[in-house]
Each structure stands twice: as structure tokens, then as C-alpha cells.
Amino acid sequence: MASRRPHLIYLFFALCALGTWAKAESGPAQWLDVEFPRDSPVLPIAFSLRPSTARVIGTSTALDLHASLLLRNTSNKAINGLTLKIDAQDLAPAGKGSLTVPSLRMQPGDVFPLRIDLELRRPFTAAATQGPVVRVSLDCVLFKDLTTYGPDKLNSRRTLTIYELQARREREYLAGLLTAGHMAEIREELNFGLLDQRPPAVGMELSQVFDPADSHQQTVDLDTMKFAGAPVTPVRGNVKIAGGNLSSPHVDLQNNSQKLVRSIEVGWIVRDEQGKEYLAGSMPAVMQLKPIETGTMTEGSTLHLFRPAGQPVAIGSLTAFVSDVEFADGGHWIPSRADILGATKSVALRRALFNSPEQQRLADIYRRKGISGLTAELKRTD
């Protein structure tokens, strides 16, 4: 009976935490504070806490926060995306969290809801927090004309702009198919009723640890995939590979344009020892490249790759490609559909590279509302 006492103590603390959390229903300001500047183009008009839960994980209480915000576009321009910064005091994960919402397309005066769902952990020994536990603030707003508002402390401007360019690419393509009456192509593009042919998902974990004495470690040359219309292309590079670990990749990149480049993002395609391909994330870098200049992107960390079940991916080769470019004048480039179709014959890779939050949203609309719902959505603001 004595061996169960620690668990009963932990359960007691969890129940106390849940009871305290429940009090937030009558006083949400004790837990949640929403702070937007007075001149913000979007302002909160209401917020509330929804039913939340607490449970024991080790020596901590895990609190599942569920909140709802109601926001109004108070500007005279359409808002196409925004990012909220979420700070949690004395909790883990501490520091800066975020909620990025692309493809909003909210006109001046529109009111729209947002949901915040977070898991926060509090050690049993943590002191009581003075003031709200969670603070929500505005990091960046993206307008339809691609101008922005906000402090952009989380580099949200770049992320929101890339999402918007991808959305416009996919909306324009689907609108063209609708106009031409190509219903079969629409069904195929949105994967409606078809098997998903995208590369399987792969988990990633970044760390600073890599054993240089690993007898299986080898340095291999990178393969490169180049888009015909890309202003920056990968030229060469190499990476250290040991089992399911990638370490110290470096890529030589050439600016083929006449514009000064401010930053570049390089994507990775992993091929395992059986020849199966995986999209393995990307590596952004702030690096200036003058016109027709070549520079090197490096990363000192180690990337551990594993399948959803947890097994490591046995890496056979790695391919690098430029997924987006930002110019010093504020302009951006992403690959067009023609670029992607010309770069690879793999149907799976094409589908993965076309994939975007907007395409997923439009596919969901098509599944729920059919062709009439998709048509109405594409005509809504474009």
C-alpha cells in the first residue's frame, strides 16, 4: 500500500490544479490575457476559456488549455493571415509559442473566431504565478497587398508571405480547371476519393550531439534538384550520414538573378536504402547573395530522422532544393507548378511539393460541400 502513496500525492496535486483551473471559467483573466496594440488592424472583441483538463505526467501537472478568441478586422484592407505570439509564465514549454493562421481572407469589418489549444506543464514545486499564466499578443498581420503589421519577433512575416504565395498559386490553378470544366483533374488534384500518393511522413528531431567516432559515419555528396525558374540554385554540397542521422550539411548556392538575395530556404528529400523517398523538412538561412554570386549554407546541428512508429530511417542519399527565396527589396520567389513538374517525374514528390495549407483547406471544402462549395470559395475574394 505504501508504494502507491507517491502516485496518490501526484493525483491530489493534479486534482487541486484541475480545481483551480475550473475556477478560470468564472474568471478567465486569471489565466489568460490578450494584449493587442491600440492601433492594431485586428482587435479582440471577446475571449473565453473552454473546458480544460489536468493530468499527471511524471512530477508535473499537464494542463490542456482550450480558449476561443473573437477578432475583428478594424483596418481598411483585407487580412490574409496572422500570427499570434503566446507566452506561458513559469510553465513548460516556456518562452514563445505561436499560432499561425494563413488563408484568412477577412475583409474590413469582418469578425472571425480563432481557437487556441495548448498543453502546458507545471511542476508540482512551481511557485504561484503573479498575473495571468498565458499572454496572447499579435506578432504579425499579412494584408492582401502583402504588406504587414506587427513586431515580427517570430519571423512570421516570411512564413505568412510564403503561405500566401502558395495559396495564390493553388487557387489560380484550381480556378483555371473550374473554368475549363476539368472536373476529373480537380478530383485528382485534391485527392478526392483517391489513395494518397505523397511520400510517407517522417519524424525529425534536432540536436547538437553527433558522435564523431561513429564507425558508420560517412561524408556523402548531396544530390540537387533544380527548378528552371529559380533565382537561386544548389550547385553542390555534402553531409555526414550515420544510420538515421544527418550532420553538418553544407550547400553551395548560386544567385542566378540580378537582384540582391536576403534569405534562402533549402528543402531536403531523403532516400532510404530501399529507394523510398521522404520529404525531410527544410533549413532556412539569412544570407546575402549579390547578383551572380555563390555562397555556402551550413548547419552545425544533427537531424535525427525516424518513421511514425519510431524506427530510424536508414538514409541512403540526400537531395537538396531551394524551396523559397527572399530578396532585399522585400520580394519573394517560390517554385511555380511548371517548375515543379519540370524538376521531377515522381508523382509522389510532385504532390508533396504542391501541398500547402491552402490546398488542404480547399480539399476539405470540396469534400464537405462539393464542386459548388469549392467554386463559391474560389470566387469569394479573388
Per residue in 227-253, pLDDT (tens digit) is 999 999 999 999 888 877 888 889 999
What is the spatial distance between Cα 221 and Cα 160, in angstroms, rounded to a whole number?
A: 33
- Which of 285, 291, 278 is closest to 264 using CA atoms? 285
pTM, full prediction: 0.82
Residue 229 has phi, psi (to 5 degrees) of: -95, 10
Whether residue 36 has pLDDT greater than 90: yes
CATH for the 203-335 domain, from 2.60.40, 2.60.120, 3.30.450, 3.90.930 = 2.60.40
pLDDT for residue 5 = 44
pLDDT digits (tens, 9 = 90+) for 120-130: 776 666 666 66
b/e per residue 8-33 (b: at least 16 CB within 10 A): eebeebbeebeeebeebeeebebbbb
Domains in the chain: boundaries:
2-148, 160-194+358-380, 203-335
pLDDT digits (tens, 9 = 90+) for 148-186: 999 999 999 999 999 999 999 999 999 999 999 999 999
pLDDT digits (tens, 9 = 90+) for 181-191: 999 999 888 87
pLDDT digits (tens, 9 = 90+) for 69-88: 999 999 999 999 999 998 87
- Cα dihedral 339, 344, 350, 354, rounded to 10, equals -20
Contact yes or no for 94/126 (Cβ under 8 A): no
pLDDT for residue 347 = 82
Tell me whether domains 2-148 and 203-335 share a fold: yes
Contact yes or no for 140/150 (Cβ under 8 A): yes
Question: 2-148 — its CATH code?
Answer: 2.60.40.10
pLDDT for residue 101 = 95
The H-or-E segment that residue 23 falls in is: helix 5-23
Whether residue 282 has pLDDT greater than 90: no
Contact yes or no for 238/224 (Cβ under 8 A): no
What is the spatial distance between Cα 254 and Cα 296, in angstroms, rounded to a whole number?
A: 9
